[in-house]
């Protein structure tokens, strides 16, 4: 039983933190706010080339696990990093890997690993649900050609993505049956982009419309109509990854609020001396530490293929949804007026957390999943 | 990271489980003698004081093995050892701070429950502010003479001995005038009066000391070093046993899952009510986080790290979570949740209480209210986290202001 990071994992964390501190300080985050793509392609390429991707070495990846990805994403949450790492590696990358489609992996992953290819996953639609029942986009197959119709919303970094993995279903199918994953190059005729401006100003998301988009059938990733399982696994990894990013944003917010409470004086004393403030910070610390336990347990459960891995992913995401709301929100409260300014960096974390709360499953979604897993007996007792 | 139990741990678990299946008493233990007999059986099997050094009757067991025994005892509905405080607090205190003579005299008897122990710390005016305690131990020749009152003393009515904090120097700053003393509860001048608690049961007492004479040899550690000793014993109370607390919550939750499948309200099975499902999902998620956090603490203990101020996170977490969970249980169960006896079989909670009395949902609910008060209230834990973990400046407190003024006046070097 070893819950703490091993030496390699500590080195990875230090490597990522050094890189981001150096290449992506908040001044850089602010610069990116006004750019069209929302990120710096060179910084992204250099970062990916650190050799830290989860993909197999034969595709140029570092063959790292979800624990390592959680470490990377927690560090990204501390920046908060603006760019398409999450959609490329965690969303599209997990979907490709889970599909087991060697051709698709050989086609895309080497370029992902050298930083030349940005991917994203288009799942969410008008009803903004995060389950297969929410998929209405349709794909039809006619010989060697597939045709895609439908509309996707809140697709992360879609405008910068070279290839979009689109989730669509066979007409007449329901639930997770009949769901396919189609690789759509961004310049395919019939694809149109509408940029969405979001509260988290470091994000770039788009509404995508697919109007009779016609592609070769080889663009289906995995087996047609059978992407349900790969997407479930992707959703689990996305939940853990998002929770890790929220953990980083929360821990950074706690640090900033704590420092402020040690410096700021009112009524002739430091505000951190008041129990009202001290206890708020102590509660935030408890949330952060428990969030750490939840995130890394869930990441380990993915890597270990533990029987409770789906349960743990939902526990991690629902826990961090609630924790980051409390921690990032209370940090604004502790910092008072200065915390409510655009000038101070605190709002970036507050907004990143808020953004991630409603993606990859909100608390209602994950509490329902937790109970489903419990009732199905997919839990880890101590006897495991 | 590697969160798998080793083969050695799993084999140990099977061994403990098999032993408990064979030996757990089939009927409720009635008398103190029966409880002591069960305690001795646990000790002889090697499941008590496991982590203590073998020279004092322990087994040098790893924290993981201790946690496994704790979990399996809850799962097997095994009665708790009768000398809980002796095992968890007094024994470790003597091992770390006692004289060789004290160790020889008491440790074996703690393990065998020949001596039942209580902890004489809290006073009517010294709860969270424990260091302001006033119970006096005055030196008279080679004896202490003790006068004062203790309260919230768990198990005092059954105890042969007490581990006391008493004031031995009234002129010193409050933390520096306290000593730790072993008191024979059968001494003339000791009076124990049981208190009835909110739960309706009576595990606590108030204890009065009138000119109680105790040999000076019963001093533990240095004179006036009692506060530092108490700090180490309080940290034994916090953190190490959260896994068995989790197991207890999980047992109640599993029972609740059975109940919500059979009980209907407004014509619908409770399990089909979306609001109840949401709460059941949330409670399980929250309990899982406690399990993960417990494993994290356990893995640190396994590496030989002692729980520091971070143990306050665990204490705050499980006690506040228990309170929240018990509220949800009672919400879901309606009036049945508040029925103390005579519940229909399909709703009753078979789980025994913290004190291993026959339980009810209401009784567990009542006890959840104690958890955020004893062993350092939630507010105290938050002070510890704020000041010792986050490094926030100490609050302005009347006693500190007073001590600083006295120091300035006398030019002394009192420290607080």
Interface predicted TM-score (ipTM) of this complex, two decimals: 0.96
Whether residues B30 and B121 fall in one domain: no
* Residue that finishes a domain, picked among B173, B196, B223: B223
Is B384 within the bounds of a domain?
no
Q: Closest partner residue to A296 among B1, B285, B394, by Cβ?
A: B1
| Contacts with A286 from chain B: Cβ below 8 Å | 313, 316-317, 385
| Contacts with B257 from chain A: Cβ below 8 Å | 374-375
Is B263 within the bounds of a domain?
yes
Is B245 within the bounds of a domain?
yes
CB contact under 8 A, B295 and A272: no
Split into its structural domains, chain B has a count of 3
Question: B26-66: per-residue pLDDT in tens?
Answer: 888 888 899 999 999 999 999 998 988 899 888 889 889 98
* Bond preceding residue B8 cis, omega within 30 of 0: no
Structural domains in chain A, CATH included, are 7-116 (1.10.540.10), 121-221 (2.40.110.10), 228-375 (1.20.140.10)
Tokens of A56: 């197999």
Whether residues B254 and B202 fall in one domain: no
Whether residues B306 and B190 fall in one domain: no
Query: What pLDDT, on a 0 to 100 scale, did the predictor assign at position B310?
Result: 78
Question: B239-295: per-residue pLDDT in tens?
Answer: 457 788 888 898 899 999 999 999 999 999 999 999 999 999 999 999 999 999 999
The answer on pLDDT for B213 being more than 60 is yes
Residue B148's domain is classified under what CATH number? 2.40.110.10
Whether residues B216 and B245 fall in one domain: no
Whether residues B332 and B215 fall in one domain: no
Range of the domain at B18: 7-82
10 Å Cβ neighbour count for A145?
12
Whether residues B217 and B298 fall in one domain: no
Positions of chain A with pLDDT lower than 50, given as ranges? 382-384
Question: What does B343-405 look like in DSSP terms, one character per residue?
Answer: --TTT------TT-SPP-HHHHHHHHHHHTTTTS-HHHHHHHIIIIIS-PPPPP-HHHHHHHH
Tell me the mean pLDDT in the region B128-137.
Answer: 96
| Sequence-separated (6 or more) residues with CB below 8 Å from residue A323 | A246, A247, A250, A287, A288, A290, A291
> Is B346 an active-site residue?
no
Give the separation between CA A302 and CA A296, rounded to whole angstroms: 10
Q: Does A13 touch chain B (CB under 8 A)?
A: no
Whether residues B303 and B189 fall in one domain: no
Is B111 within the bounds of a domain?
no
Q: Closest partner residue to A290 among B299, B300, B317, by Cβ?
A: B317
Find where tokens 């808020």 sit. Answer: A354
Predicted confidence band at B352 (pLDDT cuts at 50, 70, 90)? low
Query: What pLDDT, on a 0 to 100 scale, did the predictor assign at position A86?
Result: 98
10 Å Cβ neighbour count for B39?
25
Q: Closest partner residue to B5 among A1, A4, A285, by Cβ?
A: A1
Residue B299's domain is classified under what CATH number? 1.20.140.10
Chain B closest-CA separation from residue A280 CA (Å): 8
Whether residues B179 and B278 fall in one domain: no
Question: A307-323: per-residue pLDDT in tens?
Answer: 999 999 999 999 999 99
């Amino acid at each position: 039983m070893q819950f703490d990071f091993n030496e390699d994992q500590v080195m990875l964390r230090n490597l990522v933190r050094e890189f981001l501190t150096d290449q992506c300080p908040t001044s850089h985050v602010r610069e990116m706010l006004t750019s069209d793509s929302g990120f710096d392609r060179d910084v992204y390429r250099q970062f990916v080339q650190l050799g830290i991707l989860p993909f197999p070495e034969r595709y140029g990846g570092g063959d790292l696990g979800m624990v390592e990805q959680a470490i990377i994403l927690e560090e990204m949450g501390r920046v908060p990093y603006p760019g398409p790492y999450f959609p490329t590696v965690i969303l599209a990358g997990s979907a490709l890997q889970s599909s087991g489609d060697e051709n698709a992996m050989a086609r895309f992953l080497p370029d992902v690993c050298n930083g030349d290819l940005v991917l994203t996953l288009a799942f969410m639609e008008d009803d903004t649900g995060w389950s297969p029942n929410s998929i209405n986009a349709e794909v039809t197959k006619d010989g060697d050609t597939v045709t895609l119709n439908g509309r996707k919303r809140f697709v992360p970094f879609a405008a910068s993505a070279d290839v979009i993995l689109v989730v669509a279903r066979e007409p007449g199918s329901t639930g997770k049956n009949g769901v396919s994953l189609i690789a759509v190059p961004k310049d395919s005729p019939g694809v149109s982009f509408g940029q969405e401006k979001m509260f988290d100003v470091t994000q770039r998301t788009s509404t995508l419309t697919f109007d009779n988009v016609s592609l070769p059938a080889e663009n289906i990733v995995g087996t047609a109509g059978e992407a349900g399982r790969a997407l479930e696994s992707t959703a689990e990894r996305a939940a853990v990854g998002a929770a890790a990013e929220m953990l980083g944003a929360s821990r950074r917010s706690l640090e900033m609020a704590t420092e402020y409470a040690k410096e700021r004086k009112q009524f002739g004393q430091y505000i951190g001396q008041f129990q009202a403030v001290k206890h708020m910070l102590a509660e935030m610390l408890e949330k952060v530490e428990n969030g750490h336990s939840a995130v890394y347990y869930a990441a380990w459960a993915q890597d270990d293929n533990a029987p409770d891995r789906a349960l743990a992913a939902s526990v991690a995401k629902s826990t961090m949804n609630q924790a980051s709301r409390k921690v990032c929100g209370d940090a604004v409260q502790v910092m008072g007026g200065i915390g409510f300014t655009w000038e101070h960096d605190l709002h970036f974390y507050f907004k990143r957390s808020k953004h991630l709360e409603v993606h990859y499953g909100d608390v209602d979604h994950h509490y329902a999943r937790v109970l489903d897993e419990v009732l199905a007996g997919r839990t880890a007792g101590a006897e495991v | 990271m590697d969160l798998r139990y080793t083969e050695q741990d799993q084999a140990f678990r099977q061994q403990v489980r098999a032993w408990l299946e064979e030996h757990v008493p089939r009927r409720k233990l009635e008398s103190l003698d029966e409880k002591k007999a069960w305690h001795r059986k646990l000790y002889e099997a090697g499941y008590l004081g496991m982590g203590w050094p073998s020279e004092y009757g322990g087994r040098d067991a790893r924290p993981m093995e201790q946690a496994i025994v704790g979990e399996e005892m809850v799962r097997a509905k095994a009665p708790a050892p009768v000398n809980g405080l002796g095992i968890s607090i007094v024994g470790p205190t003597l091992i770390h701070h006692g004289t060789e003579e004290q160790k020889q005299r008491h440790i074996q008897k703690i393990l065998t429950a020949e001596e039942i122990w209580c902890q004489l710390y809290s006073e009517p005016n010294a709860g969270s502010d424990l260091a302001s305690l006033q119970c006096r131990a005055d030196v008279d020749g080679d004896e202490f003479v003790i006068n004062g009152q203790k309260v919230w003393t768990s198990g005092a009515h059954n105890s042969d001995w007490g581990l006391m904090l008493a004031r031995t120097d009234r002129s010193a700053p409050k933390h520096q005038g306290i000593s730790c003393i072993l008191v024979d509860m059968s001494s003339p001048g000791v009076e124990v009066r049981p208190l009835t608690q909110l739960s309706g049961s009576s595990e606590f007492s108030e204890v009065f000391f009138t000119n109680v004479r105790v040999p000076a040899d019963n001093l533990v550690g240095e004179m006036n070093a009692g506060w530092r000793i108490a700090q180490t014993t309080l940290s034994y109370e916090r953190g190490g046993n959260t896994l068995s607390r989790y197991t207890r919550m999980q047992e109640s939750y599993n029972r609740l899952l059975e109940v919500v499948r059979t009980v209907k309200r407004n014509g619908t099975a409770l399990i089909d009510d979306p609001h109840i499902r949401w709460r059941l999902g949330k409670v399980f998620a929250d309990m899982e986080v406690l399990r993960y956090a417990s494993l994290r603490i356990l893995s640190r203990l396994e590496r030989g790290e002692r729980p520091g101020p971070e143990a306050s996170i665990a204490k705050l977490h499980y006690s506040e979570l228990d309170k929240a969970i018990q509220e949800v249980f009672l919400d879901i169960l309606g009036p049945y949740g508040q029925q103390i006896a005579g519940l229909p079989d399909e709703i009753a909670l078979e789980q025994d209480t913290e004190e291993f009395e026959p339980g009810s949902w209401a009784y567990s609910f009542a006890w959840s209210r104690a958890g955020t008060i004893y062993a350092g209230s939630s507010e105290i834990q938050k002070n510890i986290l704020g000041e010792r973990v986050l490094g926030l400046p100490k609050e302005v407190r009347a006693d500190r202001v007073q001590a600083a003024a006295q120091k300035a006046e006398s030019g002394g070097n009192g420290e607080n």
